[in-house]
C-alpha cells in the first residue's frame, strides 16, 4: 500500500526542500496546496507502506538546514567519477545529455524520453521552457551550457557557477565500454566552462526554485492575486502584456464566447508563444516547436512539409493533430485565437462530463494539460492532482505555469 505524508504551514522557501526530499523517495509524488493564510501544504505520496517510514518521519521533522541549491548540487556530485559511456543515461554511467536529464529530473524539469544535447537545446530554447543568458551575464547553478553551433549542438554540461560545470565528458562515439572510458579518462567530472572553445549558449531552465518564484495552483474561480515573480519573469510578462494589446479585442471576444475568462487565454498565449514574440518569424504568422518527430501519416519527414515548426500561430495549434493548422488561415489572429480558445473550452466540457464531481480548479488545470498533451493521456490520469497530470506535459509544469501567468494578467486588469 502507498503511504502519504502531509506537511502543513510551510513557507514557499521551506517547501522547495520538502519537494526535493519527496521526489527522492520511492517514486515520490509531491502535491502542493496553497493555504488561505499564504502558507502551503505539501502532500507526498510514496509507493511503499513502510519502506520509507524513517525518511518520511525525517521529512516531517526536517528543519531545512540545506537549501534547494545545496540539495541539487549534492545530486550532481553524487555521480562524480561515474564513467562516460556513449548513449548511457544512468544510473552507473552517462553520456552528456543523459547526465543532464538525470540532473534535471530531480526538479521535474527533464523532458520525456531520451534526449540528445541538441534536442535539449531545442527544448529549453523554446517558449516558456528556458531563457538564454545575455553575453556577460554570469552563469549560475543549474544553468545549461551548450557547445557547438545553432544547427548542431554536440555537448551539454550543468553549470555550478560562472566558471565551473559538472559534465559527463572526455569521451565520444567510440566510448562504449567502461574499459575504453577508463583509458580515455571519460567520466562525470568538474570542468571549466571555458576549457571548451565551442560554447554556443547558456540557457537557464524555467522552474529552478532558486531563480523562479512559485506558481500557485489556482483556477479561474480562485486565481491568487498576490503572485510573487522574479524581476526577469515580471519583465517578460510585461512584454507579453504589451504584445497581446494588439489582439485584446479578439481575446475578449473569444473568452466571452467560450466562457474561459480573458486572463486565462492571456496566460495560455503567454506560455505558448509570448503572444508571438518567440515565434519564427515573430508575430501571428510565425511558427514554433521545431523539434523533429517521427513520421506520422502523410508526413514523412521530421518536420511539416513546409519545413516550419509544428506549432502554428499565436496559440500554437499543432500541425500533426489539427487540420486547422495544416490549412491556410491559421495565420489570422482572430481565427487562431478563437480556435485555440474553443479547443480549451471543449477540453473543459469533456472533463466536466467525464468527472462531474471535479472542482473548478482541478478541471481547469486538467483542461490546460490536455491542450498541451492531448485529452486521452490526461483522462487516464484523472482525478489525480495537477502536479501529477503535469508530469506528461511540456516542462512538467504546463497547467500550473499557465495559471500562474493568468493570475498575473488578472492582477494587471484582465478579467
For 362-407, the pLDDT digits (tens) are 888 899 999 999 999 999 998 887 778 888 999 888 888 888 888 8
At residue 74 the predicted structure's pLDDT band, cuts being 50, 70 and 90, is confident
CA distances from 77 to 58, 158, 314, 363 (A): 22, 11, 41, 40
Q: Is the dihedral of CA 389, 391, 393, 397 positive or negative?
A: positive
Buried/exposed code over 389-407 (b: 16+ C-beta within 10 A; e: otherwise)? bbebbbbbbbbbbbbbbbb
SS percent in the chain: helix, strand, coil, step 5: 40, 15, 40
Q: Which region among 64-73, 79-88, 142-151, 274-283 has the lowest average model confidence (pLDDT)?
A: 64-73
pLDDT tens profile 120-163: 999 888 655 788 888 778 888 999 999 999 999 999 999 998 89
Structural domains for the chain = 3-65 (3.30.70), 73-205 (3.90.1720.10), 220-411 (1.10.530.10)
**For residue 41, with 0-12 CB atoms within 10 Å meaning exposed, 13-18 middle and 19 or more buried, which class applies?**
middle
At residue 44 the predicted structure's pLDDT band, cuts being 50, 70 and 90, is low
The predicted structure's pLDDT at residue 49: 44
pLDDT tens profile 288-335: 999 999 998 889 999 999 999 999 999 999 999 999 999 988 999 989
DSSP letters for 98-141: HHHHHHHHTTT-SPSS---HHHHHHHHHSTTTEEEPPTTPPP-T
Cβ atoms of 98 and 202 within 8 Å: the answer is no
At residue 54 the predicted structure's pLDDT band, cuts being 50, 70 and 90, is very low
CB atoms within 10 A of CB 27: 11
pLDDT at 178 over 90: yes
CB atoms within 10 A of CB 326: 18
Q: Is the dihedral of CA 67, 71, 73, 74 positive or negative?
A: positive
For 145, the grid coordinates are 551550457
Q: Which DSSP state fits 25?
A: S
Q: Which region among 81-90, 318-327, 349-358, 364-373 has the lowest average model confidence (pLDDT)?
A: 349-358
Cell 547553478 belongs to 141
139 alpha-carbon distance from chain centroid: 20
The predicted structure's pLDDT at residue 68: 65
Mean pLDDT of the chain: 81
Percent of the chain predicted with pLDDT > 90: 43
Helix, strand counts (H, E) of the chain: 15, 12
pLDDT at 67 over 60: no
Cβ atoms of 31 and 4 within 8 Å: the answer is no
DSSP letters for 189-208: EEEEGGGSTTEEEEEEETT-
The predicted structure's pLDDT at residue 136: 76
At residue 190, φ and ψ (nearest 5 deg) are -75, 140
pLDDT tens profile 198-208: 899 999 988 77
H or E element that contains 20: helix 12-23
Amino acid at each position: 500500500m502507498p503511504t502519504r505524508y502531509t506537511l502543513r504551514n510551510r513557507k514557499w522557501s521551506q517547501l522547495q526542500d520538502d519537494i526535493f526530499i519527496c521526489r527522492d523517495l520511492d517514486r515520490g509524488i509531491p502535491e502542493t496546496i496553497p493555504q488561505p493564510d499564504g502558507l502551503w501544504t505539501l502532500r507526498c505520496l510514496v509507493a511503499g507502506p513502510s519502506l520509507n517510514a524513517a525518511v518520511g518521519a525525517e521529512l516531517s521533522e526536517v528543519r531545512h538546514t540545506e537549501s534547494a541549491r545545496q540539495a541539487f548540487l549534492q545530486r550532481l556530485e553524487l555521480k562524480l567519477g561515474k564513467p562516460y559511456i556513449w548513449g548511457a543515461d544512468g544510473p552507473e554511467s552517462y553520456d552528456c545529455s543523459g547526465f543532464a536529464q538525470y540532473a534535471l529530473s530531480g526538479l521535474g524539469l527533464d523532458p520525456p524520453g531520451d534526449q540528445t544535447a541538441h534536442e535539449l537545446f531545442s527544448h529549453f530554447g523554446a517558449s516558456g521552457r528556458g531563457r538564454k543568458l545575455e553575453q556577460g551575464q554570469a552563469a549560475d547553478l543549474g544553468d545549461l551550457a551548450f557547445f557547438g553551433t545553432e544547427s548542431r549542438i554536440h555537448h551539454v554540461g550543468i553549470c555550478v557557477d560562472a566558471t565551473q560545470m559538472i559534465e559527463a565528458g572526455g569521451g565520444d562515439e567510440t566510448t562504449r565500454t567502461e574499459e575504453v572510458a577508463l583509458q580515455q579518462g571519460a567520466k562525470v567530472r568538474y570542468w571549466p566552462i571555458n576549457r571548451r572553445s565551442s560554447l554556443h549558449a547558456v540557457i537557464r531552465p524555467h522552474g529552478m526554485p532558486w531563480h523562479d518564484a512559485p506558481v500557485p495552483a489556482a483556477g479561474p474561480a480562485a486565481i491568487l492575486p498576490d503572485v510573487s515573480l522574479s524581476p526577469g519573469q515580471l519583465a517578460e510578462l510585461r512584454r507579453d502584456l504589451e504584445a497581446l494589446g494588439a489582439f485584446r479585442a479578439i481575446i475578449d471576444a473569444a473568452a466571452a464566447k467560450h466562457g474561459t475568462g480573458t486572463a486565462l487565454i492571456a496566460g495560455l498565449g503567454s506560455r505558448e508563444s509570448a503572444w508571438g514574440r518567440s515565434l519564427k518569424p515573430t508575430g501571428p504568422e510565425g511558427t514554433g516547436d521545431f523539434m523533429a518527430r517521427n513520421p506520422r501519416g502523410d508526413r514523412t519527414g521530421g518536420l511539416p512539409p513546409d519545413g516550419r515548426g509544428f506549432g502554428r500561430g499565436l496559440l500554437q495549434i499543432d500541425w500533426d493533430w489539427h487540420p486547422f493548422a495544416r490549412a491556410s488561415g491559421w495565420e489570422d489572429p482572430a481565427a487562431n485565437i478563437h480556435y485555440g480558445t474553443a479547443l480549451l473550452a471543449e477540453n473543459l466540457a469533456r472533463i466536466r462530463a467525464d468527472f462531474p464531481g471535479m472542482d473548478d480548479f482541478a478541471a481547469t488545470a486538467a483542461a490546460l494539460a490536455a491542450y498541451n498533451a492531448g485529452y486521452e493521456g490526461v483522462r487516464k490520469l484523472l482525478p489525480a492532482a495537477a502536479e501529477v497530470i503535469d508530469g506528461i506535459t511540456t516542462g512538467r509544469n504546463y497547467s500550473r505555469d499557465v495559471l500562474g501567468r493568468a493570475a498575473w494578467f488578472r492582477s494587471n486588469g484582465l478579467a
